[in-house]
């Protein structure tokens, strides 16, 4: 995946430095050459010996080797690298980068580097939220540096919030995606996400608990690979902002169907992650139904199955992926949907798996392919699950024409 790629990793003084050996291992396994540079403070958090053993290169800290006086040229390092990853990067180093201060080898190399630079901050939540840090992050992004945002969780301080270094696998994935020339560049993709609301009257509806997060993460992951993503999004409070994602907001299953029909024929990959309502009220009251009416039943009729409709017109050069949410005989039911809806792969969620499905930030999936292949994954964040799904899509036989 990364054969022949040269990656500089700059480590600064943060407790999250303990995660860097995992990144180095992933990069080395993928075939990359890795050169580590540390600030003097970083050496108090993780030993250069560990990092030089894993990277198979001496770790550089000073401007010159104190033993033999040889010069560590930041200019040469900056020209050597295909990518410079600063992880973890502290508030202090970010402030110096903004100001152009170059008082250690890591910083001089920042100024000399001609390659893309990724920076992954890690610090206490109040430090990260401080206006000066936020301003610096903004400035660094304006320099063209790519931010790998910290995630939310328990911090070394015992506080809880944004400031955790992103997970090694995700940082690795960002690098691979970037360096691998975006395999979906220019390809159109269609993703649906969120619930649908089927109105009963002007103030009530039939809906479900879907947040839209799973589909949104899939859209993000496809867009990260260079795809032009059309996201058809049911009612969801999650913010989506990626330059490669266009959003059409819908409310009802009927609106979702017509949006999908508009985009499907030109879409190379379509992922139907939305939790579409299966039934809708036969009659929608045009005025609020009053309590006095003592309504005891509601007449319902099935909605159109959007996925099945798309499956009927799918061409050989299109990839269509569906979801199956099951509570019993999960694999058998999912396999039935895979065939009946003419899909290239189905993502099975079982409501029996704790932490999976609606309302969680995690998910546990099993992927089923038409030839009978089944792959089960452990519980992961929805962002990681999205990457697993997208990686599986990329490995499907049908290639774009």
Binding site for ligand CTP (CB under 6 A): 253, 272, 274, 276, 278, 303, 305-307, 322-325, 337
Bridge partner list, 374 = 368
The active-site residue, picked from 136, 208, 349, 391, is 208
Kindly give the pairing relationship between strand 6-11 and strand 83-89.
parallel
**Active site includes 208?**
yes
* Contact indicator for 212, 238 with CB cutoff of 8 Å: yes
Which residue number, 34 or 365, has a Cβ lying nearer to ligand CTP? Answer: 365
Task: For residues 215 and 191, give the distance between their C-alpha atoms in angstroms, rounded to a whole number.
Answer: 7
**What's the Cα-to-Cα distance from 258 to each of 297, 306, 368, rounded to whole Å?**
29, 9, 28
Q: How far is the CB of 276 from ligand CTP (least distance, A)?
A: 4
Q: How far is the CB of 303 from ligand CTP (least distance, A)?
A: 4
Task: For residues 159 and 123, give the distance between their C-alpha atoms in angstroms, rounded to a whole number.
Answer: 11
Which residue number, 17 or 307, has a Cβ lying nearer to ligand CTP? Answer: 307
For residue 181, report the phi and psi dihedrals to the nearest 5 degrees: 60, 25
Q: How far is the CB of 83 from ligand CTP (least distance, A)?
A: 36
Kindly give the pairing relationship between strand 374-376 and strand 365-368.
antiparallel
Which residue number, 226 or 235, has a Cβ lying nearer to ligand CTP? Answer: 235
* Contact indicator for 4, 79 with CB cutoff of 8 Å: no
Q: Residues with Cβ < 8 Å from 376, sequence gap 6 or more? A: 365, 366, 367
Which residue number, 145 or 323, has a Cβ lying nearer to ligand CTP? Answer: 323
Q: How far is the CB of 274 from ligand CTP (least distance, A)?
A: 5
Other residues' Cβ atoms within 10 Å of the Cβ of residue 262: 13
Which residues are catalytically annotated? 208
């Amino acid at each position: 995946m990364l054969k022949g790629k040269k990656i500089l990793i700059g480590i600064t003084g943060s407790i999250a430095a303990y995660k860097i050996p995992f990144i180095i291992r992933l990069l080395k396994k993928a075939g990359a050459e890795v050169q580590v540079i540390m600030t003097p403070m970083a050496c108090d958090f993780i030993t250069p010996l560990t990092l030089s053993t894993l990277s198979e290169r001496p770790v550089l800290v000073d401007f010159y080797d104190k033993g033999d006086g040889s010069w560590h040229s930041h200019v040469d390092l900056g020209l050597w690298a295909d990518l410079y990853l600063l992880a973890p990067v502290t508030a202090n180093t970010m402030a110096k980068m903004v100001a152009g201060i170059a008082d250690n080898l890591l910083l001089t190399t920042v100024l000399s580097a001609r390659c893309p630079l990724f920076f992954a901050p890690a610090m206490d939540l109040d430090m990260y939220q401080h206006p000066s840090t936020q301003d610096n992050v903004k400035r660094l992004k304006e320099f063209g540096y790519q931010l790998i945002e910290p995630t939310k969780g328990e911090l070394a301080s015992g506080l809880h919030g944004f400031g955790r270094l992103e997970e090694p696998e995700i940082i690795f994935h960002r690098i691979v995606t970037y360096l691998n020339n975006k395999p979906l560049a220019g390809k159109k993709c269609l993703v649906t996400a969120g619930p649908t609301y089927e109105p009963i009257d002007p103030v009530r509806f039939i809906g479900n608990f879907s947040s839209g997060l799973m589909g949104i993460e899939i859209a993000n992951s496809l867009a990260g690979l260079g795809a032009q993503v059309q996201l058809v999004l049911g009612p969801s409070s999650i913010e989506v902002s990626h330059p490669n994602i266009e959003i059409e907001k819908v409310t009802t299953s009927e609106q979702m169907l017509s949006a999908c029909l508009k985009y499907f024929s030109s879409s190379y990959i379509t992922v139907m992650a939305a939790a579409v309502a299966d039934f809708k009220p036969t009659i929608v009251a045009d005025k609020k139904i009053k309590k006095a009416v003592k309504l005891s039943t509601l007449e319902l009729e099935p909605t159109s199955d959007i996925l099945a409709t798309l499956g009927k017109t799918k061409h050989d050069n299109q990839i269509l992926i569906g979801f199956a949410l099951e509570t019993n005989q999960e694999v058998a039911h999912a396999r039935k949907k895979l065939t009946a809806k003419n899909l290239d792969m189905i993502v099975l969620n079982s409501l029996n798996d704790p932490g999976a499905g609606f309302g969680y930030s995690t998910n546990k999936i099993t992927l089923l392919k038409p030839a009978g292949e089944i792959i089960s994954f452990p519980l992961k964040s929805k962002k990681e699950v999205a990457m697993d799904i997208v990686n599986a899509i990329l490995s499907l036989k049908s290639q774009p024409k």
